Amino acid sequence: MNSGSLPAHLPESTLFGHVKGAFTSAIHTKKGYFEVADHGTILFDEIGTIAADMQAKLLRVIQEKEFIPLGATEPVRVDVRILAATNDDLKKRVDEGTFREDLYYRLNVINIVPPPLRERKEDIPALVSHFFTKYCRENEKFLDPQGNSVLTFQPEVMQILMEHNWPGNVRELENAVERAVVLATDPAVPLDVLPDHLLQASGIRLRRGEGGALPADASLFEIVADFERRIILERLEQHNGSQTEAAAALHVPLSTLNQKIKRLDIKIPRKSE
C-alpha cells in the first residue's frame, strides 16, 4: 500500500477495518489491510508520508501484533511481516520531529539499500527486455505469437544506455524504453527514439571546429551523425526544402526525418521562388 494514499477521513478503517455501524456509511463489516495480510506480508511504500497519529497506531500493531477494528471492542491478533520502503531520509525526518523515533528503530531491523542503476549496469539489458515486452503489450505492437516483444535496440543505442549514469534510476530507463516503443517503426530501434537529454549526455550533439569541421577526436557517433546531417541537408536542398519529399527520397517516415532534423540541429533550406 502507498502510505500517502491513506484516506484522510478514515485511515484506521483502511488499515484495521471496521464493524457494521461503526460510522454512518459502515453498512457492512470490512477487514483492513492488516487482517487481510495475516500470515503474509504488507509493504508500506513511502512510509515517510504516513500521518503522525497513524504512526503511533502502526507502532502498536508492530509491537503488540494486535489491533482493534474501528467500532469493535475486542482486539484482533495478526502475524504479519512488515516491509517499509522510502525515498526519504527517515533519520533526518526523526531529527526534524516529523517521524517517530521509536517507530523508526522498530522498522529499521534489517535495512536494505538498493544500489543505484549506475552501479549495476549489468541489469540494464534485462530491464530493457522486460520493459520492451511490457509496453509492446500495452501498445499492441511488435509482439511475437507468445506475446513477447521482438524489439531490440541497435548496438549504438545499447552502448549509450550502458554508458549513461541514470540519475533517475530505473524509472528513467523505463521512460526511455516506453518512448522507444511508442515511436518505433522498425524492430531494430535507432538512436532517434532516445530522449534528447540522453543523446546530449552521450555527446551525440555534433562538435564543430574551425570551418565547421568535426574535431580530430570525434567519436564514431559524431562521425555517423555528421554524415547523416550532410545527406539530409543534400536531400532537403534537392527537394526545395520539402521535408515530406526528402523523407520519401530517403525512404524513412516523415516523423523519423523530423526527429533527425531536430537532433542534428539542421536548418531547413528556404524554398526558392
Task: State the amino acid at position 136 in one-letter form.
Answer: C
Query: Does residue 269 belong to any structural domain of this protein?
Result: no
| pLDDT over 70 (residue 205) | no
pLDDT at position 180 over 60:
yes
pLDDT at 229: 82
What average pLDDT score do residues 34-54 get? Answer: 93
Per-residue pLDDT of 11-26, as tens digits, reads: 888 899 989 988 888 8
Q: What pLDDT is attached to residue 110?
A: 93
What mean pLDDT, rounded, does the chain reach?
87
Q: Give the rounded distance of the alpha carbon of 226 from its chain centre.
A: 32
CATH number at residue 187: 1.10.8.60
Whether 60 is covered by a domain: the verdict is: yes
**247 neighbors 253 (Cβ within 8 angstroms):** yes
**Span 163-192, mean pLDDT?**
91
H/E stretch holding 222: helix 220-238
Element (H, E) at 60: helix 52-64
Nearest to 161 by CA among 140, 147, 144, 175: 175
List the one residue out of 113, 273, 102, 132 whose CA is nearest residue 193.
Answer: 132
Containing H/E element for 153? strand 152-153
Last residue of a domain, one of 158, 183, 201: 201
Total of domains in the chain = 3
**Domain final residue, candidates 160, 177, 201:** 201
Q: What is the CATH number of the domain that holds 65?
A: 3.40.50.300
Cβ–Cβ < 8 Å for 16, 67: yes
The closest of 191, 251, 196, 254 to 225, measured between CA atoms, is 191
**Mean pLDDT for the stretch of residues 215-237:** 78
> What is the residue whose three cell numbers read 526511455?
176
Same domain? For 92 and 30 the reply is: yes
142 strand-pairing partners? none
Q: What does the pLDDT look like over 56-72, one tens digit per residue?
A: 999 999 999 999 998 98
The single-letter DSSP state of residue 239 is T
**Alpha-carbon distance 228 to 234, whole Å?**
10
Q: Is 72 left (phi over 0), alpha (psi -120 to 50) or beta?
A: beta
**Both 186 and 228 in a single domain?**
no
What angle (nearest 5°) sits at the alpha carbon of residue 162, between those of residues 158 and 166?
120
User: For residue 37, what is its C-alpha cell?
Assistant: 495480510
Q: Which CATH number belongs to the domain containing residue 248 in this structure?
A: 1.10.10
Residues 186 and 247 in one domain: no
If asked whether residues 66 and 135 sit together in one domain, one would say no
Measure the CA–CA gap between 130 and 44, rounded to whole angstroms: 25
Residue 62 lies inside a defined structural domain of this protein: yes
* Same-domain check for residues 179 and 253: no
Backbone phi, psi, residue 65, to 5°: 60, 35
Share of the chain above pLDDT 90, in %: 52
Assess if residue 271 is contained within a domain. Answer: no
Domain boundary among 176, 201, 226: 201
Q: How far is the C-alpha of 246 from the C-alpha of 232, rounded, in Å?
A: 8
Residues 188 and 230 in one domain: no
Looking at the fold, whether 13 and 103 belong to one and the same domain comes out as yes
Same domain, 39 and 91: yes
Residue 83 lies in a domain: yes
In a shared domain, residues 182 and 216: no
In terms of Cα–Cα distance, which of 91, 105, 13 is closest to 59? 105
Q: Which of 46, 45, 14 is nearest to 32 (CA)?
A: 14
Q: Are 154 and 190 in contact (CB under 8 A)?
A: yes
Whether residue 103 is found in the same domain as residue 7: yes
Residue 25 lies in a domain: yes
**Assigned domain for 272 exists:** no
Is position 230 within any domain?
Answer: yes
Identify whether residues 28 and 103 lie together within a single domain. Answer: yes
For residues 63 and 125, state if they share a domain. Answer: no
Question: Given a cut of 80, is residue 202 above it in pLDDT?
Answer: no
Range of the domain at 155: 117-201
